[in-house]
């Protein structure tokens, strides 16, 4: 358990202290650490700064190989994109009676790929070898939200219970101030049954809301519409603190901007953050929002699907981002970005100077997306999905120049080949491309068994 601080609260003092330090630090060095902001104004947290992002370089170490062979599709009738494995509380991949399970955002593939976001349902797949996946079915009968976006999945071995975290999203056809409203949610109550036939979910889930944007630290949908940005309050990733045992989710948010005039130009509109919430009861039904782990104000608008890997005492924070969400004057490829700190709270510094860990090759800048870095021994296994190949233009917008049939033809919509990535302090190197979408247990670290029923 964490120490008790002088106010009698558990676990909060470290994060509050970090916030205070961040504010003093920014004011004290008068804009040197935050070049997009005016000194002494606004609220400044631990940041991915413009200066750091200017160091983003594509190198041999962070550029993924070109995918030039056809990739087998997991399904003939479904698009499959953001995917996450079922993990134990400690983050290792769960194996129950020899089976692994992954959860994916899915949608019928008879619509143009852009329409899939408003139809997304979470389905699960299982496998004995971690790379040949069989569709199990839909995860939920009655989830929260019009549709569901990314999340994470935890299996508590002692309770024999699944905890499935997801984003509950409102209908994208509603008026702007109501569409794509996002809330963090999770479901518990059910488990998994395995047999020689495969894996099925048993029991029924109760669904709980974890958090919604508070409008103070985390910008609400309404505040974001006024500011004209791609809004985010989504992608809860379960993380148990290895030292304190505390339960957290990290997620993608936007920081509310109190005083736009504190920032140069209109760069305050690029206000992505990695948010964090802590469970305040053991049932994980009560949660408390905390100050973001990382903010990219004036740098980038979207830090999607954030997640943490702990290795040799270092805390690695990963997130995915797009070229089109970098602020004016900055650029970086679609891909995986990462940061490292010596504690969960930070202060996070970009890996490889600018933060870039996996970029698509220049010939196919959109070939994969939604990367997920999983611990693999002392290195990483990075999974992703096959996004767009052979687009007519240099941006994702050029998809709209194509007919609906052409759009379907250039969209992959299945797991992409996984990558092995070496991890060395604050540097990384892509060392191998595997065949297909492999979610392999972390060598030497995964738990055996689990107590799922036969
Ligand atoms: C990343 C992402 C996630 C979101 C999902 C919506 O690929 O934008 O942040 O949950 O896709 O489809």
Residue range 57-88, pLDDT digits in tens: 999 999 999 999 999 999 999 999 999 999 99
Residue 374: helix, strand or coil by DSSP? Answer: strand
Give the model's confidence band at 228: pLDDT under 50 very low, under 70 low, under 90 confident, else very high: confident
- Torsion sign across C-alpha atoms 11, 14, 20, 26: negative
Nearest alpha carbon, ligand 1 atom 7: 370
What per-residue confidence (pLDDT) applies to 394? 87
Chain-centroid distance, C-alpha 200: 26
Tell me the CA–centroid distance for residue 304 and ligand 1, in Å: 7
253 neighbors 223 (Cβ within 8 angstroms): no
Tell me the CA–centroid distance for residue 149 and ligand 1, in Å: 6
Q: Helices marked H in 48-182 — which ranges?
A: 50-53
User: The domain containing residue 343 runs over which residues?
Assistant: 50-436
Per-residue pLDDT at 454 exceeds 90: no
Is 114 part of a structural domain of the chain? yes
Number of separate domains in the chain? 1
In ligand 1, the atom with minimum distance to the C-alpha of 105 is 12
| Residues facing 319 on adjacent strands | 337
Please give the model's pTM, rounded to 2 decimal places: 0.90
For 370: left if phi > 0, alpha if psi spans -120 to 50, otherwise beta; the answer is left
In ligand 1, the atom with minimum distance to the C-alpha of 252 is 9
Tokens 């709209």 found at: 400
When pLDDT is averaged across residues 132-153 and rounded to a whole number, the result is 97
Nearest CA to 437 out of 117, 100, 168, 25 is that of 100
Share of the chain above pLDDT 70, in %: 87
Tell me the CA–centroid distance for residue 215 and ligand 1, in Å: 22
| Residues facing 349 on adjacent strands | 340
Nearest alpha carbon, ligand 1 atom 9: 304
Tell me the CA–centroid distance for residue 360 and ligand 1, in Å: 18
Is 169 part of a structural domain of the chain? yes
In ligand 1, the atom with minimum distance to the C-alpha of 304 is 9
Please report, for the domain that includes residue 91, its CATH number.
2.115.10.20
Is 97 part of a structural domain of the chain? yes
Catalytic residues: 82, 304
Angle, CA 282 vertex, CA 279 and CA 288 arms, to 5° = 15
Is 25 part of a structural domain of the chain? no
Task: Give me the chain's average pLDDT, please.
Answer: 88
Give the model's confidence band at 443: pLDDT under 50 very low, under 70 low, under 90 confident, else very high: low
Per-residue pLDDT at 41 exceeds 80: no
* The pair of three-digit structure tokens given for residue 345, joined into one six-digit string: 């709270």
Is 54 part of a structural domain of the chain? yes
Tell me the CA–centroid distance for residue 146 and ligand 1, in Å: 15
Name every protein residue with a CB atom under 6 angstroms from any ligand 1 atom: 81-82, 105, 117, 120, 149-150, 167, 234-235, 252, 304-305, 369-370
What are 316-346's pLDDT values in tens digits?
999 999 999 999 999 999 999 999 999 999 8
State phi, psi for 384 to the nearest 5 degrees. -165, 180
Tell me the CA–centroid distance for residue 9 and ligand 1, in Å: 35
Q: Kindly list the distances between the CA atom of residue 247 and the CA atoms of 12, 21, 151, 420, in Å, as whole numbers in the listed order.
A: 13, 24, 15, 28
State phi, psi for 324 to the nearest 5 degrees. -75, -5
Per-residue pLDDT at 232 exceeds 60: yes
Say if residue 347 is preceded by a cis peptide, omega within 30 of 0. Answer: yes
State phi, psi for 33 to the nearest 5 degrees. -90, -20
Q: Helices marked H in 337-418 — which ranges?
A: 404-410
What are 343-372's pLDDT values in tens digits?
999 899 999 999 999 999 999 999 999 999
Tell me the CA–centroid distance for residue 200 and ligand 1, in Å: 26
When pLDDT is averaged across residues 225-252 and rounded to a whole number, the result is 95
What are 145-200's pLDDT values in tens digits?
999 999 999 999 999 999 999 999 999 999 999 999 999 999 999 999 999 999 99
Tell me the CA–centroid distance for residue 231 and ligand 1, in Å: 11
State phi, psi for 319 to the nearest 5 degrees. -155, 155
State how far the Cα of 207 lies from the Cα of 191, in Å rounded to an integer.
Answer: 14
When pLDDT is averaged across residues 224-241 and rounded to a whole number, the result is 94
Nearest alpha carbon, ligand 1 atom 12: 117
State how far the Cα of 66 lies from the Cα of 360, in Å rounded to an integer.
Answer: 8
Per-residue pLDDT at 144 exceeds 80: yes
- Within 8 A by CB and 6+ apart from 48, the residues are 294, 295, 296, 299, 300, 303, 339, 348, 350, 355
325 neighbors 302 (Cβ within 8 angstroms): yes
In ligand 1, the atom with minimum distance to the C-alpha of 151 is 10
276 neighbors 253 (Cβ within 8 angstroms): no
105 neighbors 81 (Cβ within 8 angstroms): yes
Per-residue pLDDT at 267 exceeds 50: yes
Nearest CA to 386 out of 45, 49, 48, 70 is that of 70
Tokens 């006024």 found at: 226
In ligand 1, the atom with minimum distance to the C-alpha of 150 is 10
What per-residue confidence (pLDDT) applies to 440? 85
Q: Helices marked H in 228-261 — which ranges?
A: none
The DSSP code for 331 is -
Is 336 part of a structural domain of the chain? yes
Residue 78: helix, strand or coil by DSSP? Answer: strand
What per-residue confidence (pLDDT) applies to 44? 53
Is 454 part of a structural domain of the chain? no
Tell me the CA–centroid distance for residue 82 and ligand 1, in Å: 7
The DSSP code for 128 is S
Cα dihedral 120, 121, 125, 131 in deg (nearest 10): 10
- Of how many residues is the chain composed? 454
Q: Which of 119, 150, 372, 384 to probe ligand 1 with, by most ligand atoms within 8 A of CB?
A: 150
251 neighbors 242 (Cβ within 8 angstroms): no
Per-residue pLDDT at 16 exceeds 50: no
In ligand 1, the atom with minimum distance to the C-alpha of 305 is 9
In ligand 1, the atom with minimum distance to the C-alpha of 369 is 7
- Within 8 A by CB and 6+ apart from 69, the residues are none
Give the model's confidence band at 45: pLDDT under 50 very low, under 70 low, under 90 confident, else very high: low
Q: Which of 235, 320, 384 to probe ligand 1 with, by most ligand atoms within 8 A of CB?
A: 235
Give the model's confidence band at 46: pLDDT under 50 very low, under 70 low, under 90 confident, else very high: confident
State phi, psi for 14 to the nearest 5 degrees. -65, -40
How many Cα atoms sit within 13 Å of 389 on the Cβ side? 16
Q: Which of 82, 114, 123 to probe ligand 1 with, by most ligand atoms within 8 A of CB?
A: 82
When pLDDT is averaged across residues 406-427 and rounded to a whole number, the result is 97
Tokens 């963090």 found at: 184
Is 23 part of a structural domain of the chain? no
When pLDDT is averaged across residues 393-412 and rounded to a whole number, the result is 94
Share of the chain above pLDDT 90, in %: 84
């Amino acid at each position: 358990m964490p120490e008790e601080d002088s106010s009698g609260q558990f676990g909060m003092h470290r994060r509050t202290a970090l916030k205070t330090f961040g504010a003093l630090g920014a004011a004290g060095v008068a804009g040197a650490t935050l070049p997009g902001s005016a000194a002494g104004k606004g609220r400044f947290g631990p940041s991915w700064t413009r200066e750091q992002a200017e160091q983003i370089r594509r190198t041999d170490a962070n550029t993924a190989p070109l995918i030039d062979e056809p990739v087998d599709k997991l399904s003939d009738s479904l698009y499959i994109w953001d995917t996450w494995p079922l993990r134990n509380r400690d983050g290792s991949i769960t194996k129950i009676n020899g089976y692994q399970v992954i959860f994916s955002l899915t949608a019928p593939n008879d619509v143009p790929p852009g329409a899939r976001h408003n139809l997304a349902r979470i389905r699960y797949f299982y496998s004995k070898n971690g790379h040949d996946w069989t569709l199990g079915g839909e995860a939920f009968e009655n989830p929260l939200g019009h549709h569901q976006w990314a999340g994470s999945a935890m299996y508590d071995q002692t309770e024999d219970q699944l905890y499935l975290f997801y984003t509950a999203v409102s209908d994208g056809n509603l008026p702007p101030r109501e569409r794509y409203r996002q809330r963090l949610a999770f479901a518990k109550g059910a488990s998994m049954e395995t047999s020689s036939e495969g894996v099925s979910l048993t029991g029924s889930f109760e669904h709980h809301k974890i958090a919604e944007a508070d409008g103070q630290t985390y910008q609400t949908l309404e505040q974001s519409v006024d500011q004209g940005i791609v809004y985010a309050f989504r992608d809860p990733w379960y993380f148990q603190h290895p030292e304190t045992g505390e339960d957290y989710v990290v997620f993608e948010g936007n920081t509310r901007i109190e005083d736009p005039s504190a920032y140069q130009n209109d760069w305050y509109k690029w206000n992505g953050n990695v948010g964090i919430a802590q469970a305040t009861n053991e049932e994980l039904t009560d949660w408390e929002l905390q100050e973001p782990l990382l903010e990219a104000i004036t740098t980038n608008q979207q830090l999607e699907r954030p997640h943490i890997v702990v290795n040799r005492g270092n805390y690695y924070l990963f997130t995915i981002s797009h070229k089109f969400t970098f602020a004016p004057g900055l650029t970086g490829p679609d891909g995986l970005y990462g940061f490292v700190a010596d504690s969960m709270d930070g202060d996070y510094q970009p890996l490889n100077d600018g933060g870039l860990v996996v970029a698509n090759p220049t010939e196919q800048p959109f070939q994969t997306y939604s990367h997920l870095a999983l611990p693999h021994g002392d290195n990483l296994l990075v999974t992703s999905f096959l996004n767009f190949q052979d687009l007519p233009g240099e941006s994702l917008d050029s998809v709209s120049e194509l007919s609906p049939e052409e759009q379907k033809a250039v969209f992959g919509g299945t797991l992409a080949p996984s990558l092995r990535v070496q991890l060395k302090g604050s540097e990384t190197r892509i060392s191998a491309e595997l065949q297909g979408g492999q979610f392999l247990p972390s060598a030497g670290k995964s738990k055996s068994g689990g107590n799922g029923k036969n």
